[in-house]
Structures are given as C-alpha cells and as structure tokens.
Structure 1
C-alpha cells in the first residue's frame, strides 16, 4: 500500500462512459455505461478477456479516444470540454504513458529519452525530481546509453522514467511487461510499485497476467464492456480464480461499475 494518502478527488473518473465503434451492422459497443474511479496514489490493474474494453477504457480516460456518451475526467478536467490543442497539452503535462513496445527514440540516450517530454513542452527538468525518478527506476549508471545498448528491461525502465518526468496526475501502462522475460517483467512491476509507494504516483495498468495484478492495490475486471468485479489487495490465486469466473460468465458484478468488492484472499466485503 502506498505511504501517500489518496486525495478525495480521484486521479481519473469515468461516469456512464460509453464508447461505440461503427454503425449499423458493424456497430460494436466497446464500453457500455461504465462508471469507475481511480484513486490518487494507488496502483490499479485493469483485466479482462480480449475484447472486454480494458484498453478502450484506458484510451478514453487518457484522451486518446473520444467517448460516445458519458464522461471521462482527469482530475477535475472533463476531457470532452477540451479542443485538440488542449487535449495535447493535457496529455503532455498531466498524463504519462508506458507501452509494451517501449517507444524510445533510437538516436537519443536514455537521459535524452527520459527528458524528451519536457523538451517538447519547452520546460527544463527539475534536477531533484529527475534524480528521484532515475534512482527509483535504477538507471543512474545507464543514462548515457542508447536504447540498442540496453536490455529490454532497461529500455522499459527508461520508458517508465519518461512517463514520470513531467509529474503527471496519472500514468497509464498498457501491458508494460508483455515484451519482457519473467525476471525483467518482475523488475518493472517492482519499479511501478515503487513509483506509487515512494513518489505518490497513480498508475493504471492493463494486463493479462495474474502475477502482475498481484503487485497492485486493486484489480478491476471488465467483460463485454462492463465492469463486473474487483479485488482489493489481490493475490495471484484470487485474481486467477476471478479471471476464470469472468471468462465463463461467473462474474459477480452488476455491470455499472459497482461490482462486488473483495479482499485479495477472496473474503467478500461491501
């Protein structure tokens, strides 16, 4: 659990969020009136079968996709109220991203990749914060290396540091361990965990991996565009059991974002 107390206002909030793709025979409802909050200073896993809407939820909350109806907020900011220029500024200053494929520029050093978002925004890095981020992700000895000179795990550490450097309100991580071996993946999860615990960061991670979800404070489960359940302080076994239940239709939620809240060991609470 993070040592930072969460703010009453969530870092991100979806309210009645619906996302529809296509029309007529090709119409697909990816998210169906989803309501869910992501508390500040917490690490949340978003899970579900392929096509459940988990990546769409992340993209809508990050301002990468427009919503069909309902509300998506970062802090107090309603994303639908922003024009393209304002959305770009919000993503640059208030949102961090970590992707499965690292997305580093090969000609830049690790330090240059980390500070790139600030350079694009015309800002200078805060020396103390840069030092704290680099120390948290364990990159002090690799800052002069280019991506080709780093392992996959080290490249993803650079990507995590880049996501943190602008002190965003929230970091979205899309399968951040998907291209890594188990050891490197465990290291990245540890770094994300440390970012929450030591830096007070808010992290929302899409993952299929029960072991990854067990590193978080909360695991949220989607199916067919609905929030169907969640676990707090999840264990790997409890996540796996609930994943199997969601996939065969045994989820306990009611589909409106107020699904059954359960402790990691499986004890049910309201």
Structure 2
C-alpha cells in the first residue's frame, strides 16, 4: 500500500485503459490501481476516491478507517464490485473485475466474495443453518460439509442452528451472517460496520470470530469501521482522508488508533 499522489494534479481521463496492471502476486487477495470514484462533473465534481493504490494481503484482517466522508465505504464498495469506478482498475485475486460484464460480476460476487453488513439481512422464515447455506442453495452449489462444520464451530452456534432469527440475540444473528459470508469459502470477505447495531459485548464476540476466521480458518477480511476498539482486532489498519490513503498501522491497539484519528482531525480543522 502506498501514499497517494498530489491531489492537485491534472485530472486523468475517465477510463482505466491507461492504468498499467501491477504484477500479480499470490499473496494479494484484492488490489486497486489508480482507483478514482467521482460524482458530478466539471467544477462541481467531487472525488470520493482520488487515484488510490492499495493491496489487500491474503490471510490477513485489514481495517479501513477514516473521518466521515473520507471515502472508506466507497473504497470497500469499489473493491467488492458493488459500485462502479470512474477510473482505475480493481482485481480480486488475479481477476480484473472492472472489465467484467454485469452477469460475470454478479457470479464473481456470489462465488468468490463474502459480505457482512451492519444490518443482519437474515430471512425470518429460515433457520440459522438455512440462512447460512442460502446463497449456495440459490446458486445450486452444495456446501463442503467439513468446511461448513469448521465455520459453524468457529462461530459458536452449534446449538442454535434450528433457531429462527427472532429466537436469536443480535450478536447471534450477526454471527449467523458472518458464517453465511464464510460458508462458500470465498477469496475475501468485506464487512461494513459489522458491529454497528450491536452492544459492546455482542460486538466483541463478532469481532473475535472474524479474527479467528483469519487466524484459524485462513480467511481474508476487510472491515470498514469508525470504532478504534473494533479496528484493534485487525492485523493492520489503513487510514483514509479526503479520498487518499494517508497512513497505515500494524498491530493496532485502541489507544494508538484513537490517537492517530485525533491527529487527522486536528490536521483537517487546523
């Protein structure tokens, strides 16, 4: 991951044809080159992301943080193929998703990417187990029994698999959502404020599971959060401000992350 170029350079053309592909490395789960996302045109144009270069390492838990409006959710949505890009290129493993047609992109998201959102998005008429396997059932894929058992064991809901969402606590529902994201053994899991609707105890349970899914199951997690405590569960934190990557931190702690965020706030208001 690298520092971004000067934001006052001349605007680049709105296509990615002139953006060279970086060498593919097996240790990278997702990457972006010169990723730009702009809204509007001319003098009123706003760049949510401005020529961002980023590598997401495989088998690691990466948190993305930044002030409101910094571009962190936009970055996650573009990396996950949930939003189009104005310029630049994005890869999931060795597949460039910015060149895929809608049908191909939909299939890639279904088969190779897992999602966890602030809202649990569970179907109330289905049991926990049925919610976990639902995406694979829709796609006509049979889950790997051994892997599914590992995920269910890691999420700690073996005795809740026959319960419906209304019979589960908020933390348990989010753990079902996490297990659903992991059940197909995706290349990468994107989590957008996954503890936003949870109390501190339930949030810690979910974050502990996400970390274990990386350390024990070998998954790759990218999490957008505003909470320094949540970010401390990650292996590394990437900080965004004004559409640019401005800093990175390995082995984060809540106090270190909070101090770094305070520094950014001072720079923005000073």
Q: TM-score, normalised by structure 1?
A: 0.88
Q: Identify unmatched segments of 5+ residues in structure 2.
A: 1-24
Once the two structures are TM-superposed, the CA of residue 245 in structure 1 deviates from its matched residue by 1.1
Query: Is the partner of 2:197 in helix, strand or coil?
Result: coil
CA distance in 2, matches of 1:177, 1:197: 20
CA distance in 1, matches of 2:91, 2:48: 18
Where in structure 2 are the equivalents of 1:32-181 lying within 5 Å?
32-181=50-199
1:234 corresponds to which of 252, 255, 259: 252
Query: Is the partner of 2:159 in helix, strand or coil?
Result: coil
Once the two structures are TM-superposed, the CA of residue 9 in structure 1 deviates from its matched residue by 3.4
CA deviation profile, 1:136-193 (whole Å, cap 9, x unmatched): 0001000011111100000000000000011100000000001000000000000000
Tell me which moved more, 18-27 or 109-118: 18-27
Query: Is the partner of 2:137 in helix, strand or coil?
Result: helix
CA distance in 2, matches of 1:148, 1:24: 49
CA distance in 2, matches of 1:223, 1:123: 41
Once the two structures are TM-superposed, the CA of residue 65 in structure 1 deviates from its matched residue by 0.7
Q: Identify unmatched segments of 5+ residues in structure 1.
A: 1-6, 251-270
CA distance in 2, matches of 1:163, 1:248: 37
Instruction: Give the count of matched residue pairs.
Output: 244
Where in structure 2 are the equivalents of 1:12-51 lying within 5 Å?
12-24=30-42, 26-51=44-69
CA distance in 2, matches of 1:183, 1:80: 39
CA distance in 1, matches of 2:126, 2:43: 46
CA distance in 2, matches of 1:25, 1:120: 45
Once the two structures are TM-superposed, the CA of residue 228 in structure 1 deviates from its matched residue by 0.2
Query: Is the partner of 1:158 in helix, strand or coil?
Result: helix
Aligned counterpart, 1:268: none
Query: Is the partner of 1:205 in helix, strand or coil?
Result: strand
Aligned residues of 2:26 and 2:93 also touching (Cα < 8 A): no
CA distance in 2, matches of 1:239, 1:41: 22
Residue 237 of structure 2 corresponds to residue 219 of structure 1? yes
Aligned counterpart, 1:263: none
Once the two structures are TM-superposed, the CA of residue 25 in structure 1 deviates from its matched residue by 5.0
Aligned counterpart, 1:248: 266
Instruction: Give the aligned CA root-mean-square deviation in angstroms.
Output: 1.1
Query: Is the partner of 1:249 in helix, strand or coil?
Result: helix
Aligned counterpart, 1:266: none
Aligned counterpart, 2:216: 198
Once the two structures are TM-superposed, the CA of residue 23 in structure 1 deviates from its matched residue by 2.1
CA deviation profile, 1:62-102 (whole Å, cap 9, x unmatched): 00011111111100111111100000000001100000011
CA distance in 2, matches of 1:176, 1:167: 19
Once the two structures are TM-superposed, the CA of residue 217 in structure 1 deviates from its matched residue by 0.3
